[in-house]
Amino acid sequence: MTVLLETNVTLFFGRFHSLIVHLPIGFIILAIMFELLSWRKKADLSLAATYGLLIGGLFGVIAVILGLMLASDGGYNEDTLATHQWTGIATTTLAFVAYFLKINLKKFTWAAKAYPISLAVVLILLSVAGHYGGNLTHGSTYLLEYAPGPIRKMAGMKPARTRITALDSALVYEDAVHFIFETKCNVCHNRDKSKGELLLIDPQSILAGGENGAVITPGDPAASELFRRVTLDPHHEEFMPTEGRTPLTRQEVAILEWWITEGAPFDKKVADLPLSDDIKISLKEIGIGQEVSYLASLDLPAVAPETFNSIMLQGFRVSNITGNSTLLEVSYMPHNPEALSADKLKTLSDARENITWLTLSASTLQNDGLSIIANFPNLTKLKINGTRITDEGIKHLVTLDNLEYLNLYGTEITDESVDYLLQLPELKKLYVWQTKISEQGLAKLRDTAPGLVVESGI
Ligand code: HEC
């Protein structure tokens, strides 16, 4: 079903305001820059500045007219709109004043003094008008939404709250419902722009409803105006969000339905409400209850600097896997002329919990070394390709419960290792190219562990 929207000439033109308004801004700023360049005699752009001001002013007039048409749509915060409107009109007027002064510079001596002042004032007015225009379009919190804490504080904003995404501690309203409103609805339902006189920014405003009263009936989605609006046919003129903005996903609608059915609580945790499997899947879709990877869940103290140094002195390269992680990536230079003795490996034991990636490729590592590595509980990635290890060594590795990646390329291991490898519960990727594992051995690996990718060259 398609419902044709009524034609509205005023609004039709009005919507072009947001498009046109950038032209006067561009021309006026360009004119000021040209003036600054000519002033220092860097380039003679004086005439270009004159025309810039004139054209900027003319486009300003068009932008003002379109803006007034758009404002007739209503739903904007009155104060924000008034400031935007009057600074916009003043910017346009001042652009003409500056133009007039500029062409009369030689005629009146006072014009030469007033001209730079007029440019400065234009620039200030333009910035204010632009800023309030941005607030009308995006809401006043838009600009500093991702700003660092101290800047938000200076602007009088609440400190950013980190969204909780763990299923047992996430809050129904803050982390799920509010999140949906913020991403899909609040460009139009915020303090500066409250379409339908509805704000969806906090519990009070949601309960207050819009121009036609309450939008939520706790316990009854079907009777809730808000729910009706998001479940209409998308072509229906009352469908929310309007104007072709990204509609709610099926899962987001399901979450709102669930929340309203459960009485639309604002302070409960997700886990306090009945959770069907469908709802769990829907929540996962908006990032709540996704399994945290093993590594991300570890919170280990950093390794002492002395340990770090003594490991490096043994010829290892050590670094943190990411800038803010305490987990380590350690490697021994391939073809290092110095043998990789068991003693050298023992220095790694002081950091055994932190080491998660270990590369000992093409070193002189032998089976006794693997008995040391077998005690690294958080090892997820191990490269020991091109070494002299054998099945005897692989036997030690079965204790590595978190090992996900193992490279054994170019070693002498045989089918005897297959049974040991199958004991690694997290193993996802295994490289056994150019080893003595037979085709039957490979088939056994692949059949017994379907989730394991075995790279064998065949
Ligand atoms: C692009 C702007 C825009 C977006 C985005 C938007 N709305 Fe609206 N909304 C409007 C306008 C305009 C009205 C007033 C006209 C009307 O009632 O249809 C309105 C009205 C409403 C009303 C009726 C209020 C009343 O009392 O009449 C509800 C409920 C509503 N919106 C909910 C939502 C929800 C929920 C979302 C997010 C899924 C949303 N809106 C996203 C523009 C928007």
Q: For ligand 1, say whether the CB of 98 is within 6 Å of any of its atoms.
A: no
Give the Å distance between the CA of 265 and the centre of ligand 1.
21
Domain over 305-455 is classified CATH 3.40.50.720: no
Side-chain-facing half-sphere of 177: CA atoms under 13 Å? 26
- Atom 6, ligand 1: residue with shortest CA distance: 241
- Atom 21, ligand 1: residue with shortest CA distance: 196
Give the Å distance between the CA of 255 and the centre of ligand 1.
18
- Tell me what pLDDT residue 215 has: 95
| CA–CA distance, 117 with 111 (Å, rounded to integer) | 10
Domain ranges of the chain: 9-138, 172-285, 305-455
Give the Å distance between the CA of 216 and the centre of ligand 1.
13
* C-beta neighbour count of 135 within 10 angstroms: 23
- Atom 4, ligand 1: residue with shortest CA distance: 241
* C-beta neighbour count of 261 within 10 angstroms: 17
Atom number of ligand 1 nearest to Cα 210: 26
| CA–CA distance, 284 with 175 (Å, rounded to integer) | 12
- Atom 23, ligand 1: residue with shortest CA distance: 196
Dihedral (CA of 131, 136, 137, 142) sign: positive
Strand-pair partners of 414: 436
Give the Å distance between the CA of 143 and the centre of ligand 1.
22
Give the Å distance between the CA of 358 and the centre of ligand 1.
55
Q: For ligand 1, say whether the CB of 381 is within 6 Å of any of its atoms.
A: no
Give the Å distance between the CA of 307 and the centre of ligand 1.
60
Spell out the residues 6+ positions from residue 100 whose beta carbon is closer than 8 angstroms to its own.
none
**pTM for this entry:** 0.57
- Tell me what pLDDT residue 458 has: 65
User: Which pair of tokens denotes residue 166?
Assistant: 């763990």
Q: For ligand 1, say whether the CB of 242 is within 6 Å of any of its atoms.
A: yes
Q: For ligand 1, say whether the CB of 244 is within 6 Å of any of its atoms.
A: no
- Tell me what pLDDT residue 138 has: 80
Tens-binned pLDDT, residue by residue, of the chain (458 aa):
344 456 788 878 888 998 899 999 999 999 999 999 888 776 789 999 999 999 999 999 999 999 999 888 777 888 889 999 999 999 999 999 999 999 998 899 899 899 999 999 999 999 999 999 988 888 777 777 777 878 878 877 777 777 888 888 899 999 999 999 999 999 899 888 888 999 999 999 999 999 999 999 999 999 999 999 999 999 999 999 988 888 999 999 999 999 999 999 999 999 999 999 899 989 998 988 876 667 777 778 889 999 989 999 999 999 988 777 789 999 998 777 788 888 999 999 999 999 999 999 999 999 999 999 999 999 999 999 999 999 999 999 999 999 999 999 999 999 999 999 999 999 999 999 999 999 999 999 999 988 899 998 76
